[in-house]
Structure 1
Amino acid sequence: MAKKKKQAHGSTAAVKALTEAGVAFEALEYVHEDGATNFGAEAAASLGRNPEQVFKTLMVNHDKDFAICVVPVAGKLNLKAAAAALGWKSASMADPAVAEKRTGYVVGGISPLGQKTAHPTLLDESAQLFETVLVSGGKRGLDVELSPADLLKLTGGSYADIAAS
């Protein structure tokens, strides 16, 4: 993968964060269909990628604490496992409007990178099975492909067994 320079089509906070960090990544655009609600599955199908390699970004909360969980689009988030990994008693999905406000992205385009407010980040350990993973590039119709290690480095995140099939 070559380093991508900031381009007009992909100039999101996520792409900017990757570019400024000098991380090798590839910006992958696809046509987002209006009305589609399973954004991750749409990205995997549109890009012709294994749904186990394409990850979705979810925000969870406990009381006033928030965190980001990144899991394969083919599965679901195990909230109990996420809470345990975060040292919380429990976790629930954050309200979509809160997630949008805290990250600076719209639902379906929330990236773990370049968020408005930094959050603790968990990446499902299955990401280690792949040389690269795809995550949202910060808008619907844009994913970025990068190494899981670089994703964790840029988010300050860690691996955890948080996906449920």
Structure 2
Amino acid sequence: GKQAAGTPATVALTKAKIGFSTHAYEHDPGAKSYGLEAAEALGLEPAQVFKTLLVEVDGKLAVGVVPVDKQLDLKAIAAAAGGKKAVMADPVAAERTTGYVVGGISPIGQKRPLLTVVDSTATAHATVYVSGGRRGLDIGLSPADLIAVTKARTAAIAR
């Protein structure tokens, strides 16, 4: 039932009265890319499925949300965040700060609100899919709602 599927992300969306759909799939621990796995398992266009990556911009954690078939451009997210240099965040720090496990980090409902940058291609779709807060669960919602609920800025941060 709904109870079992509750994650901080779905709770946050429900509280904000934002409509979303949940899509569960069988997660394969051996999958090379969690994001591409989700797109394939759910039969979705990879361009519509986004992965959530944690970076450190000038020593401060930030969140980048990019299509699963693309890489995060570290220079671009540093600039979008108003910083000089971005590096991928330490997974332990990412898990501690967001309250999620790597591979299941949702941009929504993180323990501590972080600066979030969503790749500008998101706005080209009626619906985008992001992690629902655990491995094997994605949520679909409108890009406008994703941007609003995460207080994100948009920028071209994928390559």
Asked if these proteins are the same fold (TM beyond 0.5), I'd say: yes
Checking the alignment, whether the CA contact within 8 Å between 1:10 and 1:137 is kept in structure 2 is no
Deviation sequence 1:49-104 (CA, Å, 0-9, x none)? 00000000001103431110000001000000000111111100001111010000
Name the CA distance, whole Å, in 2 between partners of 1:152 and 1:102.
20
- Is 1:80 the equivalent of 2:75? yes
The farther-off stretch of 62-71 and 78-87 is: 62-71
CA distance in 1, matches of 2:32, 2:14: 29
Say which SS state the counterpart of residue 56 (structure 1) adopts. Answer: strand
- Which of 17, 28, 41 is the matching residue for 2:36? 41
> Structure 2 length as normaliser, TM-score?
0.97
Name which of 139, 143, 148 aligns with 2:134: 139
Instruction: Name the residue aligned to 1:60.
Output: 55
How far the C-alpha of 1:122 sits from its partner, in A, is 0.4
- Per-residue CA deviations over 1:13-55 (Å, capped at 9, x if unaligned) read 0000011111010011000012223100000000000000000
> How far off its partner does 1:9 sit?
3.4
Counterpart-to-counterpart distance in 2, 1:95 and 1:55: 20
Unaligned runs of 5+ in 1: 1-5
Q: Gaps (5+ residues) in structure 2? A: none
Q: Residue 20 of structure 1 aligns with which residue?
A: 15
Per-residue deviation, 1:158: 1.2
Q: CA RMSD in A?
A: 1.1
Greater than 3 Å deviation, 4+ residue runs: none
Range that drifts further, 6-15 or 71-80: 6-15
Q: How does 1:88-103 map to 2 (within 5 A)?
A: 88-103=83-98
Report the AA paired with residue 43 of structure 1.
Answer: A
Q: Which residue of 2 aligns with 1:69?
A: 64
Which has the larger displacement, 88-97 or 32-41?
A: 32-41
